[in-house]
């Protein structure tokens, strides 16, 4: 029996992604100057306004006005008629310092190694479906969204505006292998005077045909472009944006579990972020080692406690080695404490803004430490012993 799976992505001009990018740009600015800062930065953006709030403890002066306006300009909101533009924004701040009760469990001191910044469970996932070790649906959705922004910024399709969404439905055969692309959906904000038919033809030619492999498309593949027929009002003027509202876009497109915590605006002492990166790294290396076709890792933590409460390896019945053996080796060779993860990946540095659009995983276009495959050989060797 064939099955269908769908994932979506959004462009950098989507209101929620605007918020994520501002939050991570603020984080990068702080870490560049104060690597040990504690940052839990949230952002709301709406018509003519950006509100930065949350908890930040740092020795660095953060020029919020400059950071916010520059990022909004880079995204492409540069004209007043968009209802949201870099020059005329009201940038508001409601920042407090980190709670001393939380800091007490996280701070490293004599006889106490750095503990987790919160309780919770974190997931990482990988599969052998694509060279990125990601589900095909989310990989293509990200690539389409990124290309949509590229043709706008390069003036190839000059009538496009920053907001946009993509969605890809993949058909699988009875063995769970990719057969074809069933549906491609693209919604892009545009100028009011654009010819709708021409826009559909342009997006097919300049976006879909450039990104999607031709062998996955057939005569029954459905293409849906701006299904309502009009998308002129967009961005924060049409729909308010908030950090952390696109966590499935940030991760695996719905193919794997998510613990609930978002990434953007959080320094690496927050296991919501750092432990998810480690879980992805573990899962990707397990699949790359040929131990299974797909793998999900769950890590769980208690606030103030350094070691994970639990470690789970789930191979969806595709394991070529007993899962219990894989789990024992995982505990042996991967650092799982907050301090260990931060040091192993060198996370106290400004690398986060680049992840705030088009996904945190499967990013072969970026040099991200949690995407490396340098543990696959060691996993193979230890599991042969």
pLDDT, one tens digit per residue, over 75-84 is 999 988 888 9
Average pLDDT of the segment spanning 107-134 = 84
pLDDT, one tens digit per residue, over 373-384 is 999 999 999 987
Q: Which residues of 18-45 are buried (b: 16+ CB within 10 A; e: fewer)?
A: bbbbbbbbbbbbbbeebbebbbbbbbbb
What per-residue confidence (pLDDT) applies to 81?
A: 84
Rounded Cα distance, 40 and 232, in Å: 34
What is the distance between the terminal CA atoms of the chain, rounded to a whole angstrom? Answer: 39
Which residue from 273, 274, 379, 316 is spatially nearest to 128, judged by alpha carbons?
Answer: 316
Confidence of residue 117 (pLDDT cuts 50, 70, 90): confident
Strand partners, 42: 53
Only one residue has tokens 């750092």, namely: 274
Say how many C-beta atoms besides its own lie within 10 A of residue 92's C-beta.
13
317-169-222 Cα angle (round to 5): 150
Structure tokens belonging to residue 341: 């993860």
| Mean of pLDDT over the chain | 94
Sheet strands (E) in the chain: 3-10, 38-46, 49-57, 90-96, 120-127, 160-172, 178-190, 222-225, 241-242, 294-301, 310-314
pLDDT, one tens digit per residue, over 174-228 is 999 999 999 999 999 999 999 999 999 999 999 999 999 999 999 999 999 999 8
């Amino acid at each position: 029996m064939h099955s269908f799976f769908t994932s979506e992505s959004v462009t950098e001009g989507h209101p929620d992604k605007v918020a994520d990018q501002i939050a991570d740009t603020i984080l990068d600015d702080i870490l560049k100057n104060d690597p040990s800062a504690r940052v839990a930065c949230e952002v709301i953006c709406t018509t003519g306004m950006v509100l930065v709030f949350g908890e930040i403890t740092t020795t660095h002066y953060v020029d919020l006005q400059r950071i916010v306006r520059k990022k909004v300009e880079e995204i492409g909101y540069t004209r007043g008629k968009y209802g949201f533009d870099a020059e005329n924004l009201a940038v508001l701040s409601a920042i407090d310092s980190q709670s001393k009760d939380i800091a007490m469990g996280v701070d490293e001191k004599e006889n106490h190694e750095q503990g987790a910044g919160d309780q919770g469970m974190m997931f990482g996932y990988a599969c052998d479906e694509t060279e990125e070790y990601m589900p095909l649906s989310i990989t293509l959705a990200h690539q389409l969204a990124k290309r949509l922004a590229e043709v706008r910024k390069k003036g190839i399709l000059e009538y496009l505006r920053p907001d946009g969404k993509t969605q890809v439905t993949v058909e699988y055969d009875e063995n769970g292998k990719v057969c074809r692309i069933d549906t491609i959906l693209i919604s892009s904000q545009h100028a009011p005077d654009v010819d709708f038919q021409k826009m559909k033809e342009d997006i097919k030619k300049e976006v879909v045909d450039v990104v999607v492999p031709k062998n996955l498309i057939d005569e029954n593949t459905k293409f849906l472009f701006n299904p309502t027929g009009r998308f002129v009002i967009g961005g924060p003027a049409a729909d308010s944006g908030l950090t952390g509202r696109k966590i499935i876009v940030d991760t695996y497109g719905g193919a794997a579990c998510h613990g609930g915590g978002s990434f953007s605006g959080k320094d690496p002492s927050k296991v919501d972020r750092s432990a998810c990166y480690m879980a992805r790294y573990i899962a990707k290396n397990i699949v790359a080692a040929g131990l299974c076709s797909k793998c999900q890792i769950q890590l769980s933590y208690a606030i103030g406690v350094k070691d994970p409460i639990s470690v789970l390896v789930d191979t969806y019945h595709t394991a070529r080695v007993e899962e219990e053996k894989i789990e024992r080796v995982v505990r042996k060779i991967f650092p799982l404490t907050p301090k260990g993860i931060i040091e192993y990946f060198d996370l106290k540095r400004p690398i986060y803004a680049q992840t705030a659009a088009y996904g945190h995983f499967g990013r072969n276009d970026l040099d991200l430490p949690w995407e490396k495959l340098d543990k696959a050989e060691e996993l193979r060797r230890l599991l042969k012993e």
